[in-house]
Amino acid sequence: MLRDPEIISGMTDTSVKICKLFKSSIDYPIPGKRWRLPIAKFSIKFKPANLHPASFCAVTLIAEHKLGIFHSAPTVIVIFQDVRGISNSDLDCGIAGQNMVLAAHCMGLGTCWVSFAKLAFQYTGKWKERLGIK
């Protein structure tokens, strides 16, 4: 659980920078940038969930500072998978997250499930190191 505004802001900045990189390299619908289409198609083959048109639309909005990542939340909970076990870690994380959302709702708290924070962990080692995540 993260409550330090400096860490939350830093993770946001890192994620925005990565979104800008994606936007500048594979955003092909921009007039004059159709040459990026083959690069986009190639990238989508390797990251289909991350570069799905719906996700990529959000990436573009984040890069342009039109969509927030944490929406000024005072607390951010980051869920990580432990892939050493024999269970389905994707499913386990989904169940844990859903239970947290339901528990927060029961306490009268607002929540928002956000997956763009993973960019700060997937494409840089900075935040894993800073938070002590192996």
- Residues of the chain above pLDDT 90, percent: 34
Helix, strand, or coil (residue 32)? coil
Give every CB contact of residue 83 below 8 A, 6+ residues apart in sequence.
Answer: 89
Nearest alpha-carbon partner for 37 in 25, 28, 45, 46:
28
pLDDT in tens, 106-132: 999 989 888 888 888 888 889 999 998
Residue 53: predicted pLDDT: 64
Nearest alpha-carbon partner for 100 in 15, 16, 1:
1
**Identity at 117, one-letter amino acid code:** A
Pair 19, 120: CB distance under 8 Å: no
Residue 120: predicted pLDDT: 87
pLDDT in tens, 79-116: 988 888 888 988 999 999 999 999 999 999 989 888 88
Give the confidence band of 51 by pLDDT, cuts at 50, 70, 90: low
Q: Angle at CA 78, nearest 5°, toward 46 and 124?
A: 50
pTM here?
0.78
Q: How far is 34 from 60, CA to CA, in rounded Å?
A: 16
Residue 8: predicted pLDDT: 93
For the beta carbon of residue 69, count every other beta carbon within 10 angstroms: 23
